[in-house]
Structure 1
Amino acid sequence: MNSAHRLSFGRLHPKAPQLLFMCLTVALLTGCAAFKQPSEQEKQTVHELTSTMRTWALGRGLIDLPANWSGGGDVKLYYGLGADHASVEVRVLGENVTQERFDAALNERARRIAAVKNDEQQDASMLVSARLETPQKIWLQYFESTEVPDTFVHEFHLLVGDAYVMLRAVSFNGNTAPVEDRLLKLSKEIFKVTPETAGAGFALDSIVIRSHHDQEIASFDFSPPASDVSLSIYINALSPDDEERLHVRTPKDGQIFLAGDYENLRARKITLAGMQAEESLIGFSDDTHRQILFVSENYRDNPSLARPGMSIRLSAGGMKGESVDPNEPEDLVRWTLPQFANKGYELPLWQQPASPEPVNPSLTDYEAMAVWDAILKSVRIRYGAVAPRPDPEANIRGPSVKEAAESKRILHEFIASFENPSHVPGRGSAGATGMRSPCVSNEL
């Protein structure tokens, strides 16, 4: 720029207003180029993903996801909040499960656990017991490991309607009775529902858990079939909010894990499930591929079962999920076996095929952000999802059989006194013509 177009600190050059206008125009056009309008194909993709969405249970809430996505979750229930708390893990292992498939899965599970020997217990089987409560309720008990002889894992396998549910807990020091009592009680508090009709309780896939526990921590994972896109949700009902908000942690984590080499696509305050929240949307690349990572966290001053802490993450790019044969029945055993009984499922390292090459995101930034926005706006807490806890001090005991019989006798005598006035206590037959109600005092 020659000296005639330079700006003076003391006064404006006569052509400065025109020059300033030109600079603002260029800047505005540049900004518009950075936020290009979506293509018709992108709009169509977003429409296909968000126009028809399926509602899923999400603990005390609900969430809507694209219709072709699938997944589920598990929850750990805590009884007591001190060091001596107890916990129970609840998983739905399968849907649309027949009694025959349930029986076959239990037989395979028990066989694999029993086949392993505990070399610290004179080569006794790791499976301690397997017994039938009902055809739809089966107990399994096994050593947690060979190192601790009196620590056991208790599994209670349930067929609730056509949902295969597993309850799992650990007993210590050989004290097994309280654990089995807790699992038996919990098994009677699980019901088959649809997400929209779940009512009170913690909803997981197609069941709702209506127990009175003190804390619940859950994880959910969803994705389209054979895709690089995945959605993960972590729920912790009573956890306090992180002292550092998401907008503070993102630059720190980006510097540590990505050396600061990432794109900040969007960061802002939002509302999640009716609570204050933040989101951070970034993209990053290496020499082979690009990935995107969207994160949102909610914040609340008064954590409770009805105001749980939520962390939601959507990722795209990287490793692609394997395709699943729709005609092949879901494996009801493999993914939840104890580690010591999982032999034979995986090939040795030298026989495993090479890992597939990572891929770029199958969604554009615009498509991913549009789907993300639709999902987050759908998260809501169900009305009446938390039932009032019974007051342990309340005396709700009903009358005994003897007390009920005595009350019934007194009631019958009272009714008879109206039908036959001569039987009114304290009055003779002469008082029939001027009988007053037995409820009225003689002193009035």
Structure 2
Amino acid sequence: MRKLMGFCACLMFASLTGCSTFKQPSEQEKLNVSEMTSDMRTWALGRGLIDLPANWTGGGDVKLYYGLDANHSTVEVQVLGEGVTQQRYDDALQERANRIAAVKNDGLNNISMLVSAKGETRQRIMLQYFESTEVPDTFVHEFHLLVDDAYVMLRAESYNGNIAPVVARLKKLSREIFKVAPSNAGAGFALGPIVIRSNHDQEIATFYFGPPASDVSLDVYINALSPDEDERLQARTQKDAKIFLANDYENLRAGKITLASMAAEESLVAFSDDTHRQILFVSENYRGNPSLSLPAMSFRLSAGGMKGEPVNPDEADDLVRWTLPAFARQGYDLPLWQQPAAPDPVNPSLTDYEAMAVWDAILKSVRIRFNSVAPTPDPYAHVRVPSAESIAEGKRVLDELLATGPDGQPWKPEPW
């Protein structure tokens, strides 16, 4: 009877978590996991922090929203590179400006698409260009910054010739970005090596991480004010699996977890076709009361499928190509008939045990930074700032007071 009960329990748990969960890991798998998780690097992640294997690299971008109604405006912020010298920054900006300027606006008498390039300093350059040839009064404004050695680009659009407010916002935001270490990022939205201390209303960001030349990738999506999904992750996974995978998948693990001290769920599956196998791990948090300090976070770890190309350590990262407007990309991409065939997909380089162990180590490390959101100023606190005239008069009175002693004679400091 006891054996029968144990067998039934095994069937029940296997249907929920997948039998592969109970496979004992080999010594090599344990060693691989130890190497990946014993030396973790801390990254700043929006309002939080995350620990990742030391050899992983990554990046991301964020869109900041000013106002939450139909008349809101946005600014995109992206770190194009870190460890960038002044010369590399100058060269990248020159190449970018030249490529945009070389394209002619055939809708406006073939004038250059680049409208202007203005610099406050060598580290603060603004480019303005037409968004397209179809809409003559829609412009893109890019503010390029070299913050210590971090190359940061701010991007916004103006419509109907309403340029001044957009430029003013970019200039203000450019002075609210600082180079930081993850451990002391302080208040603000952290994006890799920088923190943005802007007084904005909403922030939506994507981050991507992974080891070099690998089939493994981690994507993170953050939406500060997004409401929780009405239908939870596990229910959606089962529904999507029926539609896209015809229920032909392995349910490795699923259940409720804690993510950044908030309730969350995870769904870990694997699936195969005639060419390869893939694993896909997804997790999302639930908080009920959305805010900048309680953002919606979605994590997606995949392995198998397409594998990244090796990176030449002697070749510097391209600071221009990947963020150019579409009309200025001529010469970068080969015609379709000249492009090499796509490489064959590969099986996961991580075993199920290794992937789940790394996944657990990463998710358990996610935490919200203390005081990551600055206190909101009290709207009822009307602090009067003295006028320039009153400041000048106060200084005059103080100078006279210090210049005259009690006897009406000029005041002199006493000797030591």
The residue type paired with residue 23 of structure 1 is L
The 1-side partners of 2:259 and 2:69 are apart by 30
Picking from 340, 361, 369, the partner of 1:353 is 340
The residue type paired with residue 101 of structure 1 is R
The 2-side partners of 1:152 and 1:412 are apart by 52
Cα separation, partners in 2 of 1:412 and 1:301, compared to 1, 3 Å: same
For residue 411 of structure 2, what is the aligned residue in structure 1? none
2:203 aligned with 1:216, yes or no? yes
Cα separation, partners in 2 of 1:198 and 1:230, compared to 1, 3 Å: same
The 2-side partners of 1:74 and 1:388 are apart by 24
Shift of 1:110: 0.6
The residue type paired with residue 257 of structure 1 is F
The residue type paired with residue 243 of structure 1 is D
For residue 426 of structure 1, what is the aligned residue in structure 2? none
2:55 aligned with 1:68, yes or no? yes
What is the count of residue pairs matched by the alignment?
401
The 2-side partners of 1:201 and 1:216 are apart by 11
Q: Tell me, which stretches of 5 or more residues in structure 2 are unaligned?
A: 408-416
Q: Structure 1, residues 402-429: CA drift from partner, whole Å, max 9, x if none?
A: 434655788899999x968xxxxxxxxx
For residue 176 of structure 2, what is the aligned residue in structure 1? 189
Picking from 153, 156, 159, the partner of 1:166 is 153
Shift of 1:401: 4.3
The 2-side partners of 1:313 and 1:100 are apart by 37
For residue 279 of structure 2, what is the aligned residue in structure 1? 292
More relative contact order in 1 or in 2 (CA 8 Å, sep 6+)? 2
Shift of 1:238: 0.3
> Equivalent residue of 1:234, what SS?
strand
Q: Give identity over the alignment, percent.
A: 73
Shift of 1:351: 1.0
2:119 aligned with 1:137, yes or no? no
For residues 271-350 of structure 1, what are the structure 2 equivalents within 5 Å?
271-350=258-337
Q: TM-score when scaled to structure 1? A: 0.86
Q: Tell me, which stretches of 5 or more residues in structure 1 are unaligned?
A: 1-19, 421-444
For residue 23 of structure 1, what is the aligned residue in structure 2? 4
Shift of 1:157: 0.3
For residues 93-242 of structure 1, what are the structure 2 equivalents within 5 Å?
93-242=80-229
RMSD of aligned residue pairs (Cα, Å): 2.2
The 1-side partners of 2:99 and 2:396 are apart by 63
The 1-side partners of 2:134 and 2:400 are apart by 71
The 2-side partners of 1:211 and 1:28 are apart by 54
The 1-side partners of 2:247 and 2:396 are apart by 84
Cα separation, partners in 2 of 1:406 and 1:371, compared to 1, 3 Å: same
Q: TM-score when scaled to structure 2? A: 0.92
2:354 aligned with 1:367, yes or no? yes
Cα separation, partners in 2 of 1:41 and 1:181, compared to 1, 3 Å: same
The 2-side partners of 1:117 and 1:89 are apart by 25
> Equivalent residue of 1:367, what SS?
helix
If you compute each CA radius of gyration, which structure gives the higher value, 1 or 2? 1
The 1-side partners of 2:200 and 2:313 are apart by 37
Shift of 1:335: 0.3
Cα separation, partners in 2 of 1:26 and 1:148, compared to 1, 3 Å: closer
The 1-side partners of 2:100 and 2:394 are apart by 58
Shift of 1:24: 4.3
The 1-side partners of 2:376 and 2:363 are apart by 30
